[in-house]
Structure 1
Amino acid sequence: GRPLMGLGAMAFASRLQCAYRFNTYIGIAVAGKFGGAAGVAAMGALCGAMVPFANMAAVGFLAHHGQGRLGRELVRNPLIIATLAGMAFSFSGLHLPEPVLSFLQRLADAAVTLGLLAVGAALRGGRSEGGRLGAAYLCVVKLLALPAIAWWLGGLMGLSGTTFATAVLFAALPTASSAYILAMRMGGDGPGVAWLISATTVAAAVTLTAWLALLTAWGA
């Protein structure tokens, strides 16, 4: 898609992450409404497993075209650190004291709502540099092509029910607002990424509804 945008390497690297990064807050909210507790659990597990991969891909590509060093940027990325720390604690078999667990559970319950408010507050209008065709290309890849591929692969692998629906919905999520933070931190095209975050978030109100309708009709 780079020829459609006419952008330099760093600007394109900044925007490319918008084609595969995902908004976890919206994913958890949608999964909860669609699949209840089982949907939240499946979406949470999938997002947790994919966060390190998505961030390593984004950091790696930006570091390759910018001034940052890959190893240093990876070990300093807060999303990767938090995910790996949580996985290590889970695999260790340790348990939090009940008062601490209850407090963190209340924070977790509020996090989705606060995250959705933050997503809405971060939306930006205006025009995107690099051509409308290039921006439209990335939006189509993120909101239509990826979930279609997930649908095909899910059927090929024999997924069904909540698991199948979660895989498709995960692929159909708008891009993550943290993409803007990473682009700015590593000297990339922050304004262009902000526009794409806004565009995919607004467009997802239509495309996610369509995918939900298809999943319901399919009986997933």
Structure 2
Amino acid sequence: MLTTLAALTPVILVIASGYLIARAGLITGEQWHGVERLAFFVLFPAVLFRTIYQADFESFPTFDMGAALLLTIFVTAGLLLAGRTTIKRIWGIPAVRFTSIFQGTLRWNAMIALAIADNVAGDTGLAMLAVAMVFMIPVLNVMSILVLSRYASGTAPSGSRILKDLVTNPFILSIVFGVVLNLSGLDLPFVIEDTVEIFARAALPIGIICVGAGLDLSSLRRPGPALTMGTFLRPVFMPLIAFGIATLFGLEGPAMAVIIIACAVPCASNSYLFARQMGGDAKLMAEIITLQTLAATVTIPLALLLFT
């Protein structure tokens, strides 16, 4: 427990620092959007490319991890969709608010996950987390769009637009390029490799500062059933489901830790943009993101303690 807390505390402190920096006005308005774009399009792709390029895929169970994560996603999504009518009948939660519960339960903040995986399991953890992203990001994006299209009032993008968004996602592209170079056996010129490493070193602190800056404590209201459900289904039940499925695949050690991290971190901050653009309950989504991030200081250490 103490070891896990020691690994997570720096991440938590940097998130808090991002919140304080934003409230102090050192970086404001559109400046934050620029920093976020830098992290999303340059810095995090650099760390993913470098990690995958240098990874020894034969040293960890790549496909078993991917299968366990996908099965966890499908089981969790199936339970949520099967229970939607019951949720509406008992708690009076309409379909449009259900979409925020769905995103809050299934989607994950890869920036926080990368930082925690780096602190908990080092380069091996980063490589495994990058593999998890390959399997999870496309499936979760498509699922979220389909659920919002079905239950919210917005207009869903076309199939070609969804495909374009996936194949131009900088995280996906950097991973694909890293895999290709890894399998080719070619080495990057040392000047290029050192340049990518410098970018990669900047990715995690800047990305986590942006997470903290995006927290909006003023958005919180008195918790109701939808906010409570959207906040705690993910950190409480998804790691439990993931642990059961990963155990069936015989996964343990760093592989199990990375799976639990991927399923326990708060939901993705861009879930708010999905909700806003596709007619979901954007206010509820913002509240879920904020509360999950605050709760993560307790729920992630507990999940790692119980399941790894």
Deviation of residue 140 (structure 1)? 2.3
* 1:92-171 equivalence runs, <5 A: 92-93=180-181, 98-125=190-217, 126-128=219-221, 132-171=224-263
1:75 aligned partner: 163
Task: Measure, in 2, the Cα distance between the counterparts of 1:210 and 1:79.
Answer: 36
| Change in CA separation of 1:90 and 1:127 when aligned onto 2, cut-off 3 Å | closer
Cα distance in 1 between the residues matched to 2:96 and 2:158: 15
* 1:181-218 C-alpha deviation (Å, 9 max, x unpaired): 22222232222111100011110110111123335xxx
In structure 2, relative to structure 1, the CA distance for the partners of 1:44 and 1:5 (3 Å cut) is farther
For 1:55, give the aligned amino acid.
Answer: N
**Number of equivalent positions:** 215
Q: TM-score, length-normalised on structure 1?
A: 0.84
Given that 1:56 and 1:74 are in contact with CA atoms closer than 8 Å, whether structure 2 keeps it comes out as yes
Kept in 1, the 8 Å contact 2:271–2:285? The answer is: yes
1:171-186 to structure 2, matched below 5 A, reads 171-186=263-278
8 Å CA contact 2:227–2:284 kept in 1: the answer is no
Mapped pair 1:50 → 2:136: yes
Q: Distance in 1 between matches of 2:230 and 2:108?
A: 13
CA distance in 2, matches of 1:92, 1:163: 23
CA gap of 1:36–1:92, structure 2 versus 1, over 3 A, is: closer
SS at match of 1:123: coil
CA distance in 1, matches of 2:126, 2:180: 23
**Structure 2 Cα separation of the partners of residues 62 and 194 of structure 1:** 16
The amino acid that maps onto 2:220 is R
Q: Alignment partner for residue 34 of structure 1, among 117, 120, 133?
A: 120
Gaps of 5+ in 1: none
Which stretch of the first structure deviates more once superposed, 100-109 or 115-124? 100-109
What TM-score comes out, normalization by structure 2 length?
Answer: 0.62
- What letter is aligned with 2:163? V
Matched letter for residue 71 of structure 1: G
In the alignment, residue 170 of structure 2 is paired with which amino acid?
A: A
Q: Structure 2 unaligned runs (5+)?
A: 1-83
Matches within 5 A, 1:175-214: 175-214=267-306
Alpha-carbon distance between aligned partners in 2 of 1:117 and 1:211, rounded to the nearest angstrom: 23
Native 8 Å contact 2:166 2:172 kept in 1 = no
RMSD: 2.6
Question: Is the Cα–Cα contact under 8 Å of residues 55 and 80 in structure 1 kept in the other structure?
Answer: no
Q: Are residue 89 (structure 1) and residue 177 (structure 2) matched?
A: yes
Amino acid at match of 1:39: G
Change (3 A) 1:91 1:210: closer
Identity %: 27
